[in-house]
Amino acid sequence: MKELSKEYLITRGKYNMLDVLEIGTLKYVKTLDTKGCGVFSSISHLETQRAYTGCYEGNIFTIDLENLSILKDGGTSKLKQGIYDMVILPNSDRILVCAQHFGYLEFVSTENDKLTVLEGGV
């Protein structure tokens, strides 16, 4: 379970899909389809109204917090391993650093809602 924004949180539901709940009431709002991928981690960027979730197979999904939907075109990406945790670097580049199983760290650009894996991962 992770806080998505001030209003919503997400939790893993049936068939590994993501259920969105209201924070104040825990009322079910909607389900986001992650195509069977079990999400491990997430991080939100409220200034741009985007959240990023990582799954155990290395997929990243971008969530539009205004419409509570997963972005399709370019909004998903696949890394080497399962993503345990993510941080957004504190600068204007909005680079995601993804910490993965077996110690991989990868940098992912989120520019223009297009997820691009950058050089420099270790």
Partner 1 sequence: MPTKSQKVNKSTNLYDPLEYRATEYALATYTGLAFIHIAKNKQDASVKADATSKSSATSSKKSPPLYEVQKLNEVYLKDRNVSRFVEYVEDKFAVCLFKDDHIYLVNRKKESVVAKIKNPLGKSCNYEICVIPNFHLQTLPFLFVRDDKSLYLLGVGENYLKLLKLHAAKYESVTSY
Residue range at the interface with partner 1 (CB under 8 A); choices 7-15, 29-37, 56-64, 80-88: 80-88
Q: Which residues 97-116 are close enough to bind partner 1 by CB under 8 A?
A: 97, 99-103, 105, 107
Binding window for partner 1 (CB under 8 A); candidates: 25-33, 56-64, 72-80, 95-103: 95-103
CA atoms within 13 A on the CB side of 15: 6
Residue 90 near partner 1 by CB under 8 A: yes
CA-based nearest residue to 30, from 10, 53, 52, 6: 10
3 state SS of 77: strand
d(CA 27, CA 95): 32
120 makes contact with partner 1 (CB under 8 A): yes
Residues 6+ apart with CB under 8 A from 69: 32, 63
Q: Is position 46 an interface residue for partner 1 (rule: CB under 8 A)?
A: no
Residues at the interface with partner 1 (CB under 8 A): 41, 84-85, 87, 89-91, 93, 95, 97, 99-103, 105, 107, 118-120, 122
